[in-house]
């Protein structure tokens, strides 16, 4: 698994601004994995309830 620490930190820094987050990039570059796996794992570790996560593919 490729660590995406820089991109994860950017999402974390902008978590509280209540704006929609849009991740762009070329095909198969890990955008969905970043959001659906790495960022979701971070949110669950920081006491965000899984009931408060909405995933739209």
**Structural domain includes residue 42:** yes
In the chain, at which residue ranges do the beta strands (DSSP E only) sit?
Answer: none
DSSP 51: G
pLDDT at 17: 87
Query: What residues make up the domain containing 21?
Result: 5-52
DSSP 15: G
**Structural domain includes residue 44:** yes
**Structural domain includes residue 46:** yes
pLDDT at 27: 93
pLDDT digit string (tens) for 1-57? 677 888 889 888 988 888 888 889 899 988 888 877 888 888 888 877 778 777 777
Domain count, the chain: 1
User: How far is residue 3 CA from its own chain's centroid?
Assistant: 13
**Structural domain includes residue 57:** no
pLDDT at 40: 82
pTM: 0.65
DSSP for the chain, written as a single string: ----HHHHHHHHHTGGG-PPP----STTSSHHHIIIIIIHHHHHHTT--GGG-----
């Amino acid at each position: 698994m490729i660590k995406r620490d820089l991109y994860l930190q950017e999402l974390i820094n902008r978590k509280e601004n209540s704006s929609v987050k849009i991740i762009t990039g070329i095909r198969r570059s890990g955008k969905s994995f970043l959001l659906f796996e790495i960022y979701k794992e971070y949110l669950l570790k920081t006491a965000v309830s899984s009931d408060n996560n909405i995933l739209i593919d």
